Structure 1
């Protein structure tokens, strides 16, 4: 079975003086023209433009525009003021980001290393347009691996039924240091207090198409069930466990001859690929959250 092709990307990082404008709101005539004219009058040149409407009559409109403008940082205040004045009457929400400034991605992990080390490796190769201020773990077995990449490692134990103290310490460590958080197989359930306290998007990787094989030993359960496909899902974390907006999914075929260990090994490969794509798309501002689903440009 062949998985759908991912969105076309323009590379892991934007060039100097490139901005990304993401727009979302009620669809109506004239939005594309207004945005294009705004960029032009500020001396910008559109590099890529993607848009989608779920219904041209009364539906929702989504757009992502990357444009180049010489001395972008000098021009940003005037562009933002114009965006507020132009898009306000059109009832459009918007965000403008400088693509030359990488987002700060903090990582939470437990004892499994495959997703964590894959992200660190891709970052070192320049494939992820992020900086990694820290890795936080409730165990110490990955400390030396993380530090070998030149990334700070912070151990915050999380034991017993009451996780509030550990969560408070994590929130304190992340405050002002992260633009988003990735759970690289962090085997702790996060509370609503944590999510509100951390105040940035949190991305998780799950070892199946949600919701399926929840809890411990998922690949043993999959083997016992005789599955023919195993997969992985990356999604934003919300207060509802494993119910947040899905960013990316993928699968691989398996057979009766595959052992539970085979399923786990092949599943780890899918998890790495799915999480890295989700992280890349989020870092490139390709993901627009709308209700409990996403639009990926």
Structure 2
């Protein structure tokens, strides 16, 4: 049996205040514990006292176990006051998709998932409308209809939370889910809810951004994928994309053109989250 057949690929993500010796300490630790570094990326906001971010991919060989490695790393993490996590690359994260009536972002994710481009499990899709049930179930994915009204919003969110816990969901994607989530819901899944907003934020926050863009006579329209926080459409931005338009575009044409940008931006953001390429710091993200 070859050495490679016994390896486990792992991703290590680190954020802490910058100081000399971090890279050397991490590299020496991994070498000492039977790891072979495949890729290492780092970024410092200011080498003279700013924040330091690092992402390392490595193979862990032989009898070395990931849980033991995590436990041993605590000493170095404490020395540098690190915020860190160590994830096995082989584990597929469980992704729940929330959707309302529009299908373009949902279908983009399902197509990529079926083609093997999204290394994830999709245990369920939750919607406040029944319109896309047949489409979702054609992929063999359970569809849950959870209607939301002003009076039933709290109960609906609790029902959704129970489903998410039941299926042990790792993170949630709002694929044009046209509901504002409560602080209770957001706090239950911190930094684990990705939304696509059909505007190049911070412009045109909230509802009907294409109508607002048309009224403003914009020459670029865009879409923004971001993590959800209690502040509407103001969470840490993961990805943005734009498309050039002109005075001939009506509001409806802007919507049609915008759907393509939304699909691309959301799919990229989901891919980066799945690949552990994102570190959230404050209201920003570092993407490796």
TM range (shorter): over 0.9
Inter-partner Cα distance in structure 2 for 1:122 and 1:63: 28
Rate the CA distance shift 1:213–1:123 in 2: closer, same or farther, 3 A.
same
Gap runs ≥5 in structure 1: 1-14
- Aligned-CA RMSD value: 1.6
Deviation at 1:162, TM superposition (A): 4.5
| Contact 1:179–1:200 (8 Å) recurs in 2 | no
Task: Establish whether residue 41 from structure 1 lines up as the match of residue 32 from structure 2.
Answer: yes
TM-score normalised according to structure 2 size: 0.94
Secondary structure of 1:158's aligned partner: coil
Matching of residues 241-280 of structure 1 within 5 Å: 241-280=232-271
Unaligned residue ranges in structure 2 (runs of 5+): 1-5
Q: TM-score, normalised by structure 1?
A: 0.91
- Secondary structure in 2 aligned to 1:134? strand
Aligned mates of 1:57, 1:182 — CA distance in 2: 37
1:230 paired residue number: 221
Q: Does 1:50 align with 2:50?
A: no
- What residue number does 1:147 align with? 137
Question: Residue 257 of structure 1: CA displacement?
Answer: 1.4
Deviation at 1:218, TM superposition (A): 2.6
Query: How many residues are paired up?
Result: 282
1:211 offset after TM fit, Å?
Answer: 2.9
Aligned to 1:160: 150
Describe how 1:40-79 pairs up with structure 2 within 5 A: 40-71=31-62, 75-79=65-69
Contact 1:139 1:156 in 2 (8 A): yes
Spell out, residue by residue over 1:158-197, the C-alpha distance to the aligned partner (whole angstroms, 9 max, x if none): 0125410100100010015210000000000000011123
Asked if the contact 1:105/1:179 (under 8 Å) is kept, the reply is: yes
Distance 1:151 1:265, change over 3 A: same
Match of 2:3? none
Question: What pairs up with 1:61-100 in 2 under 5 angstroms?
Answer: 61-71=52-62, 75-100=65-90
Q: Determine the structure 2 residue equivalent to 1:170.
A: 160
